[in-house]
Structure 1
Amino acid sequence: MNVTEATDFPPSLLEIALFYAEAGVDEAIGDQPVDRTQAPPAREAARPAAVPGQAAAPIPGGNPSANPPPRAPAASAPALLSASDVESAARRAARACQTIPELEAAIKSFEGCGLKATATNTVIARGNPQAPLMIIGEAPGRDEDAQGLPFVGESGQLLDRMLKAIGRDEQNTYISNIIFWRPPGNRDPSTEEILACKPFIERLIELVQPKVIACAGKHAAATLLGTTQGITRTRGRWHEYQREGIGIPAMPLLHPAYLLRQPGVKREAWHDMLELAAKLEQLGL
């Protein structure tokens, strides 16, 4: 018999259980079982409201140990830093570094970028820091996060082949990213994450003093060159990286990962690599 057809009241426990089962209830919530057949416990005498700054009055006849003195107010948690505050902290930390090893240590100890909490390694650079050519990408991927080095996965191997085609390798190229920790799922870095890392990559450029910069990908080009157009519009044309009185020729490049997804644009990428080679030759590098 369906419990909805029952005529005997009150319903039995079995009928109640069947009703709840038909209604889709499959879990009882509660830390402790409650015996509903017992009378509810007597309520504790109402405690008079405490006046701020005064001790609570004890309950008459109550146990003194049951009336502990009020606790001191908990200290309020510090307010979260804004993106501009984080950027300022990063800039102070970066400016204090006079060598690349000091800067690397500062980046590894920096806690202002939330990506650090989910990353395996801090990924900074590979290659020769005295090289005339500096290539700056966007952010580490899975392989880079695992190995702690930039551009070592499939797209990095393609980049190495592209560099080799114009006579460049780790001996005469320095490779880094604008972000030093892998975004989960290889998503695009957020504006806040870019701002947190930007002072460090700018300081790294100052310490390396490259003669030519190649920005691989839209985020690298937008962050370092201030470009607002897409990478397909800005690639292949020379820009200038400007920072505190210095100007360095800079070329936006299609990111190697993009070339793996869109092999039909490798012709344009090869044109850009030839432009890089010509600029380096023109500068006698």
Structure 2
Amino acid sequence: MQHSHDNLKDIESLLEFYRSAGVDCFLGDAPVDWVEASARQAAQRHQAAPASPPQMAGGPDRTAAASHAAPKSTPRQQAAAPRQQPASAPPQAAVMPDRETIASARDLAAAAASLADLKACLETFEGCNLKLTAKTLVFGDGNPDARLMLVGEAPGRDEDLQGKPFVGRSGQLLDRMLDAIGLDREAAYIANVVPWRPPGNRTPTPQETEICKPFIKRQIELVNPDVLVFLGAASAKNLLGVQDGIRKMRGRWMNYALRDREIAAVATYHPAYLLRSPLEKRLSWRDFLSIRSRLAGL
């Protein structure tokens, strides 16, 4: 039986959804109800537990005699007996995001004098719960002295594993887009608004974004690029304060304000969206041509 082209596209979309959610292998041919299986295993352990020894008749004298009759372990047996392992440290508790946490993030970010200082602050910062589930901090990649900086929303699975932004399929597409206008990662600096991967690649909550915002704003200040590109509407909305959708926003040059100057900024489609909607690549191509012209004119 042959599948239609539409069915194959549906299957590919479903597999891509599973992959982005972290499902990358099959464990069996049938689904397993782990809640029911855990309850069944607990019941089996309860039934198999040995009954408590009956109290011996005859009072304490006979009990003491029985204890004297029990064989004593030799020093060699005692050495071979397994030692009880010390209890592991309890996992870090989640924090409740509030104004105090956001203010702390602002203070830490403002005190960072370099990108290395800022990265060290994020590595020790405990105010964002995404750090509890992410494997690594995804700080930035590329040339920190570049004139071009690109900012996405949050890292995905591949980025979380490698600790670098845009290294998965969308990152490979971004590399090709940069190459098409004569640039590469050594001619750009790439980062995300949120530096930790949200579980299952979900969208970061407004609280998570607000906590991380001071760090990406400081990161932009320290890189100090001539042109700032927002990959997708989320990063543009969070850092520019605009509310337009990406279709209306993309390709329109705006200004991003620093303390002492303004940076030319533009939003374009996120590479992950282009993988799902390849026809929109023609519009992104126009955006990247405009980026090249703006860099040449500055």
Q: TM-score higher than 0.5 here? A: yes
Amino acid across the alignment from 2:275 = L
Aligned equivalents of 1:248 and 1:85: distance in 2? 30
TM-score between the two structures when normalised by the length of structure 1: 0.71
Which SS does the other structure have where 2:243 is aligned? coil
CA distance in 2, matches of 1:154, 1:282: 31
Is residue 128 from structure 1 mapped to residue 143 from structure 2 by the alignment? yes
1:248 correspondence with 2:263 = yes
Does residue 101 in structure 1 map to residue 121 in structure 2?
no
TM-score of the aligned structures, taking structure 2 as reference length: 0.68
* 1:85 Cα deviation from its structure 2 partner: 1.8
Alignment match, 2:182:
167
1:253 deviates by: 1.0
Q: Cα distance, 1:81 vs. partner?
A: 4.8
Alignment of 1:124-163 (within 5 A): 124-163=139-178
For the residue of structure 2 that corresponds to 1:171, the secondary structure is helix
C-alpha deviation, 1:82, in angstroms: 4.2
Q: Output aligned runs, 1:10-21, within 5 Å.
A: none
Aligned to 1:208: 223
Aligned-pair distance for 1:83?
3.0
In the alignment, what sits opposite 2:67? none
- 8 Å Cα contact 2:152/2:192 also seen in 1: yes
Counterpart contact for 1:83–1:195, Cα < 8 Å:
no
Secondary structure (helix, strand or coil) at the match of 1:176 reads strand
* Matched-pair contact (CA < 8 Å) for 1:126–1:174: yes
Residue in 2 aligned with 1:260?
Answer: 275
Aligned residue type for 1:277: R
Q: Distance in 1 between matches of 2:128 and 2:246?
A: 25
SS in 2 for 1:181: coil
CA drift of 1:215 comes to 0.4
Partner of 1:51: none
Contact 2:137 2:196 in 1 (8 A): yes
In the other structure, the counterpart of 1:19 is none
Q: Any stretches of 5+ residues in structure 1 without a counterpart?
A: 1-25, 33-77
Q: Verify: 1:222 aligned to 2:222, yes or no.
A: no
| Kept in 1: contact 2:97–2:127 (CA 8 A) | no
Matched pairs, number: 214
**Displaced runs of 4 or more, over 6 A:** none
Provide, for residues 234-279 of structure 1, a one-character-per-residue CA deviation record: whole Å limited to 9, x for no partner: 0010011113342100010100000001111111010000010000
Matching of residues 57-96 of structure 1 within 5 Å: 81-96=96-111
- Determine if contact 2:97/2:128 at 8 Å carries over to the other structure: no
Q: Residue deviations 1:71-109, cap 9 Å, x none? A: xxxxxxx9x654322211111111111011111110111
The question of 1:182 aligning with 2:236 is answered: no
Q: Which of the pair has more CA radius of gyration?
A: 1
Q: Is the 8 A contact 1:136 1:178 kept in 2?
A: yes
* AA in 1 matched with 2:113: Q
Q: State the one-letter code of the partner of 2:128.
A: C
Aligned to 1:232: 247
SS in 1 for 2:228: strand
Check conservation: 2:154, 2:197, Cα contact below 8 A: yes
In the alignment, is the contact (CA less than 8 A) between 1:136 and 1:214 conserved in 2?
A: yes
1:205-254 superposed Cα distances (whole Å, 9 cap, x missing partner): 11111010000011100011111011111001001111334210001010
**Does 2:292 match 1:277?**
yes
Could you say what the CA RMSD is over the residues aligned between the two structures, in angstroms?
Answer: 2.2
Contact residue 140 and residue 177 of structure 1 kept, 8 A: yes
More helix by share: 2
Which amino acid in the other structure matches residue 106 of structure 1? Answer: C
1:241 corresponds to which letter in structure 2? Y
Q: Give the Cα separation in 2 of the matches to 1:149 and 1:271.
A: 27
